[in-house]
Amino acid sequence: MEKGNENLFRLWRIVCIKIKTEFTHLKLYCFLPNFPFFGILTSPMNEFTEGLNPEQFKAVTTIKGPVLIIAGAGSGKTRVITFRIAHMLDKGIPQSQILALTFTNKAAKEMADRVKELTGKKLQNLTVSTFHAFGVKVLRSHIDKIGWRSNFSIYDETDRNQLIKECGRELKFSADALDVYKVGILFSNIKMGRKDWTNEHDSYKALYKEYQDGLKLYNAVDFDDLIMLPIKIFKEHPEVLAEYRERYRYIMVDEFQDTSTQQYNFMKLIADKNICVVGDDDQSIYSWRGASFENIRNFEKDFPEMIEIKLEQNYRSTGTILAAANGVISHNVNRKVKALWSEKDSGRPIEIFIPENEAAEADFISDMILSLKQREGFKYSDFGVLIRANSLSRPLEESFLEVNIPYRMSGGTSFFQRKEIKDLISYLRVVANPDDDVNLLRIINTPRRGIGKKTLETLSALATENSCSMRTAIRLLLENPPEDMRGKSIEDLKEFAELISTHRTQLLSGKGLAQKVRKLLDDIAYNEYLIAEYQKSEKAAQFKMMNIESFLHSMDDWENNPDNLDGSLYDYLNRITLLTRDDTEEEKGEVNIMTIHSSKGLEFPVVFIAGAEDGLIPHARSVEENDGDVEEERRLFYVAITRAQQKLFITSCRQRRKQGGITECAPSPFLDEIPADLVEYHEPDAQAEEERIADIFSQMKKKFSM
């Protein structure tokens, strides 16, 4: 819309809100019969259309026919969707005729709650659902038509893999030839249309048929079937499809860019004329789980009479942040052209910092958080730290804990709360203090060593009877084992006691703490234990091994730090205790650490994008798997940038520890796509460093005064 017309629109909207009369619309028509947005202007006003910009107003009030709403980041998408549903209800459209589909239960609940709050109505007949929940609804009513019973079970990934394993045994597959986890993914991809059968996979065709027959035999469906089987029912039983088309006259789909090909087909079958999809191709970042931004183009082709509405006014970010985001995403070829704009001022330049390594990166982020909190009054919850993968969180967590910055890991587990790290720390605590019953009970049968429930009950009774620790109870039991426990269980217990004793002698003397801990892990065969525990997911086992390596490298760095005067195991454990304490200070809120994928849909006054290096952003594996195509990775970086409201910091390390070694890093090529006049390269802030030291000193004083 031209700027003059837009201003006229805004003025006229104010007049309409004040006067609320159709007579006024007639007067305007006398003067502006050819005004391009006259149809919008003359739409009756209600509480669900007030305060909307011209494009939002059009999106809310256009309820007939197919509508494509391209909703840029921060453009008020959720408001438009909820206002649109409320407006439809206000127009007298029955609740039962409206179907709103989204991707998460959280989003569905939020949408329903907002509409209920807006309208003040009970919404028993309004259907706001995830795609999969709606699929279940269809199947419960009609699955009998394709040979299942209505009381079917839904198999999760574990159940699926167990059935594949069972079918593999029936077909005489060897254990070596059957990677259950990979086969499960293959079957999912085949079923959802993400892959076709190739010569490479032909050997699994019979297994796939056996698996499908097994599901039917057990009256079960897997997660993919919640989309595929309703499609099958609709195609084979047109009377069922007609029933749903008659019922749901108005359909809305949120986060349309995240729909898979089959979800789109599911939606398209039900839709008649009045369908509205809302999405942003620039925020399509889930191709790895089957999402296709091409569905926006498919919608244009399948509904040629559709109306397209672009929401480009951003209510979230400063002009500088939006200009940076526009500059980056404009390098993508496969996109709908749009440019976010804001009425906010330009704001601060984007600050880029090139630290030496991940430890310096983490300290820089800590320093800036403390500095901005003190100088500009930000709360901890105002900060979002975005990383490409959870594996990058450890240096950040250590730095935050060191200076008492409260944080939360969103969409992942805190490094120090991960099971493998807690297991390792428990071993070290027991080595340092064998009378630590809590940690001893955690590790006595981890990895499994045949010390069963009966043995533990006997030890507990001995400890209670003699008012002693479990360690002492083990010694008493070994000195005088009961008749019914002699044999393997006693040998296992003796082996455990000797293991702790041996490593206690080694770990409490001399240097080389990290190497000694590595020897402990070898002796208990912890890596083998992880492989056995996570045989259904090789990647999960590898990830946990990488976490342990990261922990050991951190220990090695600590021991070799010249400022570290005491390199003993006791001192290290004291440090860990202080780092992982549950601190309850008066300051409310926590810094949010999360992956960029997890940040989608969120916003923070201050955002740090950490690890903006080539190989991480864009990720080397993603580029390789997509034949060199970096467009989705660029969209991911765009999502990260547009989470920031006021300030944006980007860090890119010169070196980073990877797979046990130090790797030289180059900055992400996406940094060069940010217009140079928007960027300021950041030097370490001396004042921030002083404030950091002062804060540490203050915390220490507080502790000593307790």
Residues linked to residue 252 through DSSP beta bridges, in sequence order: 100, 276
Residues linked to residue 311 through DSSP beta bridges, in sequence order: 71
One-letter amino acid for residue 219 of the chain: N
123 three-class SS: coil
Token pair recorded at residue 33: 């019969």
Active site residue 523: no
Token pair recorded at residue 90: 């206000």
Q: How far apart are CA 203 and CA 208, in angstroms?
A: 10
Q: How far apart are CA 311 and CA 70, in angstroms?
A: 6
Q: Please tell me which residue in 255, 367, 420, 613 is annotated as part of the active site.
A: 255
One-letter amino acid for residue 515 of the chain: Q
Q: How far apart are CA 118 and CA 186, in angstroms?
A: 45
Q: Please tell me which residue in 55, 222, 224, 254 is annotated as part of the active site.
A: 254
Q: How far apart are CA 395 and CA 393, in angstroms?
A: 6
State which H helix or E strand residue 406 sits in: none
424 three-class SS: helix
Active site residue 283: yes
CA 92 to chain centre: 38
Could you give the C-alpha distances from 365 to 237, 455, 596, 645, 648, in angstroms and in order?
59, 49, 17, 17, 12
36 three-class SS: coil
Q: How far apart are CA 333 and CA 560, in angstroms?
A: 49
Burial class (CB in 10 A: 0-12, 13-18, 19+), 599: buried
Could you give the C-alpha distances from 352 to 318, 333, 586, in angstroms and in order?
17, 26, 32
CB proximity list for 405: less than 8 A, separation 6 or greater? 366, 369, 370, 380, 399, 591
> Is the Cβ–Cβ distance between 149 and 215 less than 8 Å?
no
Active site residue 144: no
Token pair recorded at residue 267: 């939606």
Q: Please tell me which residue in 24, 42, 78, 472 is annotated as part of the active site.
A: 78
Q: Please tell me which residue in 61, 82, 257, 283 is annotated as part of the active site.
A: 283
Residues linked to residue 69 through DSSP beta bridges, in sequence order: 278, 309
Strand positions, DSSP E, 127-229: 127-130, 153-155, 220-222
Active site residue 78: yes
Active site residue 294: no
Integer-rounded Cα Rg, in Å, for the chain is: 30
Q: Please tell me which residue in 114, 160, 643, 692 is annotated as part of the active site.
A: 643
Laid out side by side, the sheet with 604-609 consists of: 407-410, 591-595, 383-387, 604-609, 644-651, 350-353, 679-681
Q: How far apart are CA 604 and CA 40, in angstroms?
A: 34
First to last CA, the chain: 64
Query: 71 phi and psi, to 5 degrees?
Result: -105, 105
Query: 255 phi and psi, to 5 degrees?
Result: 50, 50
Active site residue 484: no
Query: 21 phi and psi, to 5 degrees?
Result: -140, 140
Which residues are tagged catalytic?
77-78, 254-255, 283, 643
